[in-house]
Copies of this chain bind each other. A is one copy, B any other.
Amino acid sequence: VLHGGLPLGVVVQPASGDAVGASPPSSGRPETPRARVRAAVIEEIKAAARAQLAERGAAALSVRHVARELGMSSSGMYRYFASRDELLTALIIDAYNDLGEAVELAESRVDRSELFDRWWAAARAVRDWAKAHPQEYGLVFGSPVPGYVAPQETVAPAARVPLALAVILRDAWDAGRPAGAPTSPITGVDLALSEVVEPLIGLPPDVVANGIIAWVELFGFVSFELFGHLVGTVDNGDTFFRRVCERVAVTIGIDVGVPDA
């Protein structure tokens, strides 16, 4: 697609259920030895592709180059991925999952009742992961490639971080808003939450909207910092990020500990 001349907005491929690179129909780990080897090779390919992504960016990712790196013929790659696009999609899904896992893990290690610490752990995990995997972050949160439309399989992995944040938001709501940190209401917005973000069901729309703002602000900061737009503006990104998170916490009705005003 990067080379093709498709106009903006053209769908590339729906889901292609029995595609080449896909694992056997249902889940679980591979049963037969052959399937296990196959899965291992796929991992090897993706790892090499990720390395190239980091070095040269998504636009320069090439099937031939990956094959070379692995000492494989370029045609051999097609036993594992039906096209360059499919390989890219696999990387996108992995990126979402990897980020989601990092966030879930970091957040899960915090005492359930420490709402700010949970939010802070999640936010920091996003930022840390982004800094550790800048190209993968850019692949997912950077400018989209015209003509490429994320296939359906992307949706669930993409929802992991929002979902984790949603749970925090809900717990904060259930715990009751702390005094002295009022959430200002947002009204007149139609929220169309996909069924993926269940925890939010039942919350007042303005609370949900505040949650979305928090989500946008978190990723807005991380993107701006990672993409170099804060250079020459903020010296100590770490401290600034902490302050931003404290700020946002108040927005979603979480007490920071350090009182505001």
Residues of chain A at the chain B interface (Cβ within 8 Å):
2-3, 5-8, 54-60, 134-135, 137-139, 141-147, 150, 162, 182, 184-194, 197, 209, 212-213, 216-217, 219-221, 223-224, 227-230, 232-236, 239-240, 243-244, 247, 250-251, 260-261
Contacts and interface: CB of A to CB of B under 8 A. Distances in A.
Contact of A142 (B142, B212, B233): B142
Contacts of A243: 186-189, 209
A239 B59 contact: no
A66 B115 CA distance: 54
A7 B144 CA distance: 22
Contacts of A5: 55-56, 60
A165 B250 CA distance: 24
A192 B54 contact: no
B57 A236 contact: no
Contacts of A188: 236, 239, 243
Nearest to A260: B184
Contact of A233 (B138, B186, B192, B244): B192
A53 to B, nearest CB: 9
5 contacts: A56-B147, A162-B233, A187-B243, A188-B243, A194-B233
B247 A184 contact: yes
Q: Which 9 residue pairs of A and B lie closest in terms of their CB atoms, listed nearest first? A: A220-B220, A138-B143, A142-B143, A59-B59, A190-B235, A194-B232, A192-B235, A142-B142, A184-B260
A187 B239 CA distance: 9
A56 B1 CA distance: 9
A219 B227 CA distance: 12
B8 A141 contact: no
Contact of A221 (B162, B189, B216, B240): B216
A111 to B, nearest CB: 25
A251 B143 CA distance: 28
A134 B260 CA distance: 38
Nearest to A232: B194
Contact of A217 (B2, B182, B216): B216
B229 A141 contact: yes
Contacts of A221: 216, 220
A152 to B, nearest CB: 12
B142 A227 contact: yes
Nearest to A2: B59
Nearest to A256: B184
